[in-house]
Structure 1
Amino acid sequence: MKKKIWHLIILNTCILSLFTNAQNPVFSQILINKSYLNPAYAGYSGDLTFDMQSRIQWFRVPSYFLSNAFAINGGCNANRLGFSLQGLSDLRGEGFLQNHRITGAVSVNLPGYTSRKLKNKFLRDRKTIVSTGLAIGVGQRFLNWDRLLFTDQLDHYLGIVRNSSLVNPQNVVSNVIVDLSAGSRMKMEISDKGSNISAGFAMFHINRPVETFFYSENRLPIRYTGHVFLHLQTEKYVNNAQFLTIGWVGNYQQEMQTNIVLLMRDFNSGFMLGGGFRSERIYLLGKTIDSIVLQFNLRQGDVIINYSLDFTVSSLGVHRTFGTHELGISYLMSGYNMCGMFYKRNKRAKTDCFFLYDDLMKKSNFILIQP
């Protein structure tokens, strides 16, 4: 009985967090599918890439949450443009609530150098890239009313007294929404070794679309995301650059806030290890869900595989949830861009808007997936 009560508490926490977050799940693994984090990352590598990501939240709990996302990214070097096509399928409670989205994004990437007159040697004459992205998407939710139980179906003494609720209308699908998002990011070298810093900010649901099953004016609240990453190259002038990465990602929307802090290190053998802490605050419940995050990345040629595990350390406990699992795969088609409205192989020149990566792309196992 006690076990069932805990399952109900966990499930209610999930459902309330879903409606306070209102739109998309927050992935702990942010190195795969960066265009999901910020529209300014559309076409982030300058080449054609395929990203896939899957998240199973609280594996032990009945009706766990399953989120799947994909993205196709490409860049046009000549026009300094990046493009992405993203998809999201989010299943809650074994499909009683489903959320499906498709989004297209375009980014403008402006390369440059900091002034040679700056006194600070860490900032003087450094490569930079500033990007701004816009995204437009469509989406719809699906709800299985037979899986829900309302108070008008219950009696204090008799329990369930009515098989169906008087709540009407019980629409199976919500209206189709058109969703607008925008974001900016900047990346800059900070040393001769190749160390760099990046930061970005994005806003989702800027137009606050109405999404409802009841024909009401229920507008999605704006979601804000921000991130800062410091990539420290540990050795100077080596063929295979290695980085120590420290990063923070934050998400805020109405009654819910999520913060993720990560520390990662890559190695010459083609793998990266990382760990961090994730804190999810649900203001409506006055509850915080904390997790320790462990991540593993493996790169073989143009393929990157990532696995992430969140250990629940708050009162819910990992023994009740079995943690949250994420798996991501990224495939890079090196040398292919999207200029001329078709795929074309093209050697990138120093004038390429993605030139911040050019000197390091062949020297590091994971420069491709750095935010």
Structure 2
Amino acid sequence: MVLIAGLFVTINKVKAQDIQFSQFYANTLYLNPAFAGSTHDLRGVLHQRLQWPKLEAKYITSSASLDTYIKKTKGGVGLILMKDWQGANTISSTDIALQYAQEVNFSSKFSMRFGLQGAYVSRNISYAQLTFPDQYTDGGYSGVPTSEYFGVNRKNFFDLSAGTLFYTDNLWLGISAHHINMPNQSFYNEVNRLPMKIGVVGGYKIKLDGGEANSPDKTSRYSLTPTFYYKMQGKSDQLDVGIYGMHDDLMLGFWYRGLPIKRYERNQNNESMIVLLGYRIKRLVISYSYDFTISKLNTARTGGSHEFNLTYIYPLPLKRKMYKRLPCPKF
């Protein structure tokens, strides 16, 4: 727990970074609030990420979301709940967010969505599980009380985010801004703002069979979809770039996460290679991905990162010709 304590002591000197999901399209409400109601059906999502399971400072994140389309307003509403644990549950965070997205069709080929999110965030720290350097002697842990000063064990704040999506039948581009109000996240009686995160996501769907002739939304059975996701927060930025391959109800995806053209403290920014396998059973989608660590952290034998996703889409009684589907992957 000394490592976790060290991270905690410096928490008010560094800028915290948001969680990164490898299956970002499987957890779209977290990606961008403009996705709320984008399926034009009722969608429920359960998502789980386990990062670096062989390290003491592992990260475990669980999320559940529900969103649906509102025919009367041509918009969508969403609810997302997220729980995050860091370092054997020493530091945890609970997020509850409500979203609304408005859809605007400028023509038969070009559409946009605008989304807004308000979230309530509660962050907690368990001091009882921490040990500090002044509690250790040459003989090991002494058990004497630490002289470290502690702040409060809970910090609550409101968080505001927004996003937009531009899309055609095959192409899409989305921009999101999280933590617009830059809330104070400090456990101490001081100000430590959570830096704004800017995300840009996009891709192009290549339909290898031209789409099904009898499908109202021209769903393609065979397709390749190159995608990218760039995010920037504080002094850090990262890029995910890869491709999805769809064969009937089976999907296979590969990504690279890193930004090798930019170095941090003389280290090249190579983080991970990611592989995804997904399968669709009628309205249920099941997917799993694994991150292969390729950074210098690989020497610590992190155990990589695992993500599991379950998505169920319940059809609403809508006239399908009323809207255009987003071409981005459903996994």
The answer to whether the 8 A contact 1:311-1:318 is kept is no
**C-alpha separation in 2, matches of 1:297 and 1:16:** 39
**Structure 1 range deviating more: 215-224 or 300-309:** 215-224
Kindly state the Cα deviation for residue 289 of structure 1 after the two structures are TM-superposed: 4.8
The answer to whether the 8 A contact 1:291-1:313 is kept is yes
Q: Which residue of 2 aligns with 1:49?
A: 43
SS in structure 1 at match of 2:324: helix
Kindly state the Cα deviation for residue 255 of structure 1 after the two structures are TM-superposed: 2.9
Aligned pairs for 1:274-285 within 5 A: 274-279=253-258, 283=264
**Structure 1 range deviating more: 80-89 or 7-16:** 7-16
Q: Which residue of 1 aligns with 2:112?
A: 130
Q: Which residue of 1 aligns with 2:216?
A: none
Equivalent residues, number: 323
**C-alpha separation in 1, matches of 2:9 and 2:227:** 29
Q: Which residue of 2 aligns with 1:122?
A: none
Quick check: 1:147 aligned with 2:149? no
**C-alpha separation in 2, matches of 1:29 and 1:106:** 22
Kindly state the Cα deviation for residue 349 of structure 1 after the two structures are TM-superposed: 4.8
Kindly state the Cα deviation for residue 43 of structure 1 after the two structures are TM-superposed: 1.2
The answer to whether the 8 A contact 1:255-1:284 is kept is no
Q: Which residue of 2 aligns with 1:200?
A: 174
Aligned pairs for 1:188-227 within 5 A: 188-189=168-169, 196-227=170-201
* Aligned match for 1:22, one of 16, 20, 34: 16
Kindly state the Cα deviation for residue 203 of structure 1 after the two structures are TM-superposed: 0.7
**1:210-237, CA deviations, whole angstroms, 9 ceiling, x for partnerless residues?**
1121121111111111111111111125
**C-alpha separation in 2, matches of 1:251 and 1:321:** 23
* Aligned match for 2:202, one of 224, 228, 240: 228
The answer to whether the 8 A contact 1:17-1:256 is kept is no
* Aligned match for 1:256, one of 211, 236, 240: 236
**1:191-210, CA deviations, whole angstroms, 9 ceiling, x for partnerless residues?**
xxxxx111111111111111
Kindly state the Cα deviation for residue 71 of structure 1 after the two structures are TM-superposed: 0.9
- The letter for the 1-side match of 2:34 is A
TM-score normalised per structure 1: 0.78
Structure 1 runs (4+) greater than 6 angstroms displaced: 7-19
* Aligned match for 1:104, one of 84, 98, 101: 98
Q: Which residue of 2 aligns with 1:357?
A: 325
The answer to whether the 8 A contact 2:203-2:225 is kept is yes
SS in structure 2 at match of 1:33: helix
SS in structure 2 at match of 1:31: helix
Kindly state the Cα deviation for residue 263 of structure 1 after the two structures are TM-superposed: 0.7
Quick check: 1:293 aligned with 2:274? yes
**1:32-86, CA deviations, whole angstroms, 9 ceiling, x for partnerless residues?**
1211100111111111100111110112223421011111011112211111000
* Aligned match for 1:347, one of 298, 318, 325: 318
**Structure 1 range deviating more: 65-74 or 146-155:** 146-155
**Residues 65, 305 of structure 1: alpha-carbon distance in 2 compared, 3 angstrom cutoff:** same
SS in structure 1 at match of 2:26: coil
**C-alpha separation in 1, matches of 2:7 and 2:17:** 16
**Residues 8, 295 of structure 1: alpha-carbon distance in 2 compared, 3 angstrom cutoff:** farther
Kindly state the Cα deviation for residue 327 of structure 1 after the two structures are TM-superposed: 0.3
Q: Which has the higher strand share?
A: 2
Give the gaps of 5 or more residues in structure 1. Answer: 1-6, 114-125, 190-195, 336-345, 359-366
**C-alpha separation in 2, matches of 1:330 and 1:79:** 25
Aligned pairs for 1:328-347 within 5 A: 328-335=309-316, 346-347=317-318
Q: Which residue of 2 aligns with 1:73?
A: 67
The answer to whether the 8 A contact 1:59-1:324 is kept is yes
Quick check: 1:62 aligned with 2:75? no
Quick check: 1:272 aligned with 2:266? no
Aligned pairs for 1:315-326 within 5 A: 315-317=296-298, 320-326=301-307
**C-alpha separation in 1, matches of 2:243 and 2:224:** 7
**Residues 213, 296 of structure 1: alpha-carbon distance in 2 compared, 3 angstrom cutoff:** same
**C-alpha separation in 2, matches of 1:147 and 1:52:** 29
Give the gaps of 5 or more residues in structure 2. Answer: 214-218
The answer to whether the 8 A contact 2:25-2:31 is kept is no
Q: Which residue of 2 aligns with 1:117?
A: none
**C-alpha separation in 2, matches of 1:230 and 1:288:** 26
SS in structure 2 at match of 1:321: coil
**Structure 1 range deviating more: 157-166 or 270-279:** 157-166
**Residues 282, 33 of structure 1: alpha-carbon distance in 2 compared, 3 angstrom cutoff:** farther
SS in structure 1 at match of 2:147: coil
SS in structure 1 at match of 2:188: coil
Q: Which residue of 2 aligns with 1:83?
A: 77
